[in-house]
Amino acid sequence: MLWACVLLPQLALDGVLRRQPPTEAPLVLVSGPAQARVVHAANRSARAAGLYRGQRLTAAQALLSQFAMVEHDPEDEARWHRLLAAWAYRYSGEVGLLAHALVLEVSRSLNLFGPWPRFESLLRDDLKELGFRHRIALAPTPHAAYVLTGVHDGLAVMTPDTLRRALLPIPIARARLPDDAAQALPSMGIRTLGQLFALPRAGLQRRFGSELVAQLDRLAGDEPSPMENYRPPDTFEQRMEWTHEIEHVEALVFPLRRLTGDLSAYLAGRDGGVQRFELELEHRSGPPTRVTVGMLSAGRDAALLFECARGRMERLELSQPVVAMRLLARDLPPFVPAGRDLFDTRPTNAVPLEQLRERLRARLGEASIQHLRRTLDPRPELAQTTTAGVGATHAISLPRPTWLLHTPRPLRGPAPTILAGPERIETGWWDGGDLRRDYYVVRTAQGQCAWVFCAPGEQGGWMLHGWFA
C-alpha cells in the first residue's frame, strides 16, 4: 500500500480567497467570541505586515490600518474539505479525511496515472486550478504520509525501510502525536521520533496510555490505520457568499467559473455527468433568483459547463444585488464521453458539435435548434415532428416537396400548369383533424414547382402548401 497525503495548510483562507479574482489586498479571517476576536488566518500581504494566526484582532488593527475581514466559518471549511475529497475520489477509491488533509491510497492508481512524479504533478495541477495551496507527500502508511507532508513537501517514500529512516529525525512537535505526549516528551529530553522509537514500549504504554503506542505502530505500518472511506454524495451543492453586494452580472463571472469548475471536478471524481443544474442568486431580501441551466446531453467539461451557465446568466437582469450564489445539481446521469472516429475528417481543433449546439442555444434560446423526423401520420402538416423518437422509415413514392409552408396560403397569379396529380389525402378522422384534399404538382407562371391542393373534384381555388425547391 502507498498513501499520498495532500495537506491543505490554508484551507479556510483559500476557500474565501477563491470567491473573488486574485488580489493583493490584505485579508484576514477572524474567529473567537466577540470580546476576544483573534486572527484565524491571514493572506500573504497581511502576513507581510506582521499579522499572524492567533493574534488579537486589536493588535492586528494597530499594525495594519485597513484590511478586509471575513468571519471564519468552520462549516464552510468543512464544505471545501469535502469538495476536495470528491475531487480526490477521481484518483483513488480509498480517500480518507484527516484534519486539514486528505489521504489517498495510490498504489493501484499508479498503473493508470503513470509513475509517481507524473501522478504528483497531475494532483498539483488540479489543485492549482482549483485554487488551493497544498503540500503533498507519499509514504507506505497514511499517518506517515500525513506527518511527512508537514515536514517536507514533495517527499516520496516508497518502502517501509526507507520510511523508518525518514521518520527518525522528525521532531516530536511535528509528529502529530496525541496532545499530552507531544507536550510532555520534549520536556523529558525526547525530541525526535527516532529517540521515541528507541524507548521500551511497555514503559511508554504505562506512562502515556495505549493511544501513543498505537499511533507509533500506525506510523511505522505495524498496525493498520482505522480510516473511514470517503463516499461522494449523490447530489452536488456548493455555495459562495460575499461580504459585499454584487450588482452587475459581469462580476459574477469569476465565482461562476469557480463553481462550475468545482462541479466539473466533482463529476470527474464520480465519473458522472450533469445535464441540468440550477444557479440560485441570493439577495438580501426576497426570494432568490433561480437560473436553470440545461444541456442537450450530459457533460462534465469545465469549459462547457461554464460557457452554458454564462450564456444563461448574461441574459439575466438583476433586480437586486446578489450576496451569495449557490449551485445545485441533483440529477446526475451517467456520462458517456463522445467517441471520435479514427478516420474522422474534421480538423483537429474542431469545437465538438455538442459544444457548438450549446453555444447556439445559450444565445438564441432553448428551442432554437431542431431536428426533424418523419412520423407515420399521412397528413402533410403532421408528417414530421421536432420531438425526439424513432422516425418512420417506410419509403414514399409519391411526389413530396422539399419546402413546406407553415400554413397553406392561396396561390396567387395566373392559372398554373398541372404537372401531376391529383393525389387525394383524406384522413385524420381519429383525432378530429380531418382533412380531405386533392394534391397536385403545378408549375407557376414564374417557373416554380409548387405543391398545391384544392377541394376534392375541383381544379381551382389552389392553396399553396409547398415548393419543390
Partner 1 sequence: MGQVVALSSLFEARQVWKGRAVSLPDSSQPTGWPALDEALPSGGWPEHAMTEILLPADGVGELQLVLPTLARLTREARSVMLITPPYLPYVPGWEARGVMMSHVDIVQAGERDVLWAAEQCLRSGSCAAVLAWPLQADDRALRRLQVAADTGKALAFVFRDRRHAAQASPAALRLELESEPSLQVRIRKCRGGQPPAGMLPLAAGWS
Positions in the binding site for partner 1 (CB under 8 A): 345-347, 349-353, 355-357, 359-360, 363-364, 367-374, 380, 383-384, 391, 395-396, 399-406, 419-420, 441, 446-450, 466-469
Nearer to partner 1, 49 or 369 (CB): 369
Closest CB to partner 1 among residues 63, 350: 350
As measured in angstroms, the least distance from the Cβ of 459 to partner 1 is 18
Least distance (Å) between residue 277 CB and partner 1:
24
Grid coordinates belonging to 348 = 483537429
Question: How far apart, in whole angstroms, are the C-alpha atoms of residue 144 and residue 146?
Answer: 5
**CA–CA gap between residue 141 and residue 159 (Å, rounded):** 10
Residue whose CB is less far from partner 1, 39 or 464: 464
Q: Are 201 and 213 in contact (CB under 8 A)?
A: yes
- Nearest-CA neighbor of 330 among 245, 229, 456, 237? 237
Written as nine digits, the cell of 441 is: 404538382
Residues whose CB falls within 8 Å of the CB of residue 412, separated by 6 or more in sequence, listed in order? none
Closer of 413 and 457 to partner 1 (Cβ): 413
Q: In sequence order, which residues have a C-beta less than 8 Å from that of residue 443 and are 6 or more positions away?
A: 416, 417, 419, 449, 450
Phi, psi of 165, rounded to the nearest 5 degrees: -65, -35
Minimum CB separation of residue 402 from partner 1 in Å reads: 4
Smallest distance, Å, CB 430 to partner 1?
21
Residue 441 beta carbon to partner 1: minimum distance, rounded to whole angstroms: 5
Q: Measured between alpha carbons, how far is 182 from 172 in angstroms, rounded to an integer?
A: 6
Based on CB atoms, which residue is closest to partner 1, 273 or 401?
401
Rounded-to-integer distance, Cα 367 and Cα 370, Å = 7
Shortest distance, position 8 Cβ to partner 1, whole Å: 39
Q: Which is nearer to partner 1, 305 or 450 (CB)?
A: 450
Least Cβ distance, residue 427 to partner 1 (angstroms): 15
Q: Which is nearer to partner 1, 221 or 401 (CB)?
A: 401
C-alpha cell at 96: 480518507
Of 256, 270, 302, 240, nearest in space to 87 by CA: 270
Q: CB of 294: closest distance to partner 1 in angstroms?
A: 17
Q: Are 261 and 130 in contact (CB under 8 A)?
A: yes
Gap between the Cα atoms of 74 and 97, Å rounded: 15
Residue 180 or 366 with smaller CB distance to partner 1: 366
Secondary structure class of 235 (helix, strand, coil): coil
